[in-house]
């Protein structure tokens, strides 16, 4: 089947670009001597996780137990849920999962870890946990200056084994220049490695020192003391990564094929792809529309659920029925909106992939 035979909107994954992205990040991790444990949230696809594994990835990262369960069912047996797993229902699911795969989960407070501890200790089980450290994003995680105190309290809980520490330098997505992104990566790696040393001096066996985020990963993983990196977005990239200078347009594997359904005014064209297809996520680091129209100077100025409103650049003309390719602001959230994506090579559709871990919110 050819791309032109597809109905729209449709999410296309360019296999050549995907394979190059997977290979390059694996090579970078190998060169730095760190384990690559990619975040599967970006693709939510068994097929792409296999490509990553074949290229040398050691295990997977996921955000929710439901995603981990989907990949475990497909044979992935080494999973880190990089998220504070809180509450009795989730603790029991974690226990069931830990019986089938090598599982670790995130914690960032003794209070949050208590239920996990109780559920695992009850049957004499043990769960690997990693403490989240906040190196500047200010979302979850303990500040480095409180890491030791929190780590000691968590390490004392029965049923848990504090195996390492991790962070996510999401602040890299707000960095205005490539130099600032690089600096965020260096701070991420250095701060986490330093924190690990402090914990080890107190007698804690910190084996894993794990950094995240596609923009900062190449920089953070080169810092001494880092043992693992968990980038996710790099498999596809997106318009935000291009804006951040992480990659070029030619490194973007995920695009949306859309159709012009209306040209009601010279300055306005409307696509059949809106927020239900592209999400309302803003462009990073600075807002700038909701997607680039490849091969044109125009971009999506506003979205409603089923409409993408193009601000038509004077150099462009659109006609009703014309097909266009949109580069979304944020590819991870696009994956979550679709039941299937089309894997293409050149103009040919090689496969239709079902998103095994889509919509797993719990």
Taking the CA of residue 80 as centre, how many other CA atoms within 13 Å lie in the half-sphere pointing to its CB? Answer: 32
Q: Residue 164 is encoded by which pair of tokens?
A: 């390492």
Q: Smaller CB distance to a second copy: residue 19 or 306?
A: 306
Least distance (Å) between residue 309 CB and a second copy: 6
Q: Smaller CB distance to a second copy: residue 156 or 250?
A: 156
CB-based contacts of 225: which residues, under 8 Å, 6+ apart? Answer: 189, 192, 193, 194, 196, 197, 209
Q: Smaller CB distance to a second copy: residue 222 or 311?
A: 311
Residue 284 lies near a second copy (rule: CB under 8 A): no
Q: Smaller CB distance to a second copy: residue 28 or 360?
A: 360
User: Given the structure tokens 């995240």, which residue do they identify?
Assistant: 212
Residue 338 lies near a second copy (rule: CB under 8 A): yes
Q: Smaller CB distance to a second copy: residue 34 or 137?
A: 137
Q: How far apart are CA 277 and CA 356, in angstroms?
A: 18
Q: How far apart are CA 285 and CA 84, in angstroms?
A: 26
Near a second copy in 300-329, by CB under 8 A: 304-307, 309, 319-321
Q: How far apart are CA 220 and CA 171, in angstroms?
A: 13
111-130 footprint of a second copy as x/- string (CB under 8 A): xx--x---------------
Q: Return the residue of 32, 46, 79, 108 that touches a second copy, per CB under 8 A.
A: 108
Of 80-88, 94-102, 193-201, 209-217: span binding a second copy (CB under 8 A) = 80-88
Maximum alpha-carbon separation in the chain: 70
| Cβ–Cβ < 8 Å for 233, 262 | no
Residue 361 lies near a second copy (rule: CB under 8 A): yes
Residue 275 lies near a second copy (rule: CB under 8 A): yes
Of 8-16, 49-57, 71-79, 238-246: span binding a second copy (CB under 8 A) = 8-16
Residue 261 lies near a second copy (rule: CB under 8 A): yes
Sign of the alpha-carbon dihedral angle for 129, 134, 140, 145: positive
Near a second copy in 195-254, by CB under 8 A: none
| Cβ–Cβ < 8 Å for 118, 92 | no
Residue 63 lies near a second copy (rule: CB under 8 A): yes
State the number of binding residues for a second copy (CB under 8 A): 61
Least distance (Å) between residue 106 CB and a second copy: 9
Residue 109 lies near a second copy (rule: CB under 8 A): yes
Question: Residue 269's beta-bridge partner residues?
Answer: 310
Residue 87 lies near a second copy (rule: CB under 8 A): yes
Q: How far apart are CA 190 and CA 95, in angstroms?
A: 33
User: Among candidates 44, 31, 32, 22, which has minimal Cα distance to 226?
Assistant: 32
Of 25-33, 94-102, 132-140, 221-229: span binding a second copy (CB under 8 A) = 132-140
CB-based contacts of 246: which residues, under 8 Å, 6+ apart? Answer: 181, 214, 215, 234, 237
Q: CA–CA distance from 303 to each of 28, 142, 290, 308, 361 (Å)?
A: 37, 37, 7, 5, 24
Least distance (Å) between residue 337 CB and a second copy: 7
Burial class of residue 159 (count of CB atoms within 10 Å of its CB; 0-12, 13-18, 19+): buried
Residue 2 lies near a second copy (rule: CB under 8 A): no
Least distance (Å) between residue 313 CB and a second copy: 18
Q: Which residues sit at the interface with a second copy, rule CB under 8 A? A: 7-10, 41, 63-64, 83-84, 86-87, 89-90, 108-109, 111-112, 115, 134, 138-143, 170, 259-265, 268, 270, 272-273, 275-277, 279-282, 304-307, 309, 319-321, 332-333, 336-339, 359, 361-362
């Amino acid at each position: 089947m050819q791309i032109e035979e597809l109905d729209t909107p449709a999410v296309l994954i360019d296999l050549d670009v995907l394979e190059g992205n997977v290979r390059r990040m694996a090579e970078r991790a190998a060169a730095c001597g760190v384990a690559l444990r990619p975040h599967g949230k970006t693709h939510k696809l068994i097929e792409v996780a296999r490509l990553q594994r074949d290229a040398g990835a050691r295990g997977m990262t996921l955000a929710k137990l439901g995603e981990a369960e989907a990949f475990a069912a497909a044979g992935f047996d080494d999973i880190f849920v990089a998220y504070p797993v809180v509450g009795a229902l989730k603790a029991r699911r974690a226990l069931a999962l830990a019986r089938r795969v090598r599982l670790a989960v995130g914690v960032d407070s003794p209070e949050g870890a208590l239920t996990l501890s109780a559920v695992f200790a009850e049957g004499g089980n043990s769960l690997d946990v990693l403490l989240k450290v906040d190196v500047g994003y200010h979302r979850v995680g303990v500040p480095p200056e409180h890491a030791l105190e929190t780590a000691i309290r968590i390490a004392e809980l029965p049923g848990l084994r504090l195996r390492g520490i991790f962070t996510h330098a999401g602040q890299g997505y707000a960095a205005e220049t490539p130099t600032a992104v690089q600096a965020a990566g260096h701070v991420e790696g250095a701060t986490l490695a330093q924190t690990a040393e402090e914990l080890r001096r107190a007698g804690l066996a910190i084996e894993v020192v794990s950094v995240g985020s596609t923009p900062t990963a190449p920089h953070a993983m080169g810092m001494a003391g880092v043992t693992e990196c968990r980038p996710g977005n790099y498999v596809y990239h997106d318009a935000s990564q291009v804006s951040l200078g992480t990659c070029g347009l030619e490194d973007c594997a995920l695009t949306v094929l859309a159709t012009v359904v209306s040209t009601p005014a010279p300055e306005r064209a409307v696509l059949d792809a809106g927020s239900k297809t592209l999400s309302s996520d803003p462009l990073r680091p600075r807002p700038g529309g909701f997607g680039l129209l490849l091969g044109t100077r125009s971009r999506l100025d506003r979205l409603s659920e089923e409409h993408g409103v193009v601000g038509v650049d004077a150099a462009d003309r659109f006609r009703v029925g014309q097909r266009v390719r949109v580069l979304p602001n944020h590819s991870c959230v696009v994956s979550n909106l679709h039941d299937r994506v089309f894997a293409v090579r050149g103009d040919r559709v090689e496969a239709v992939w079902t998103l095994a871990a889509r919509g797993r919110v719990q």
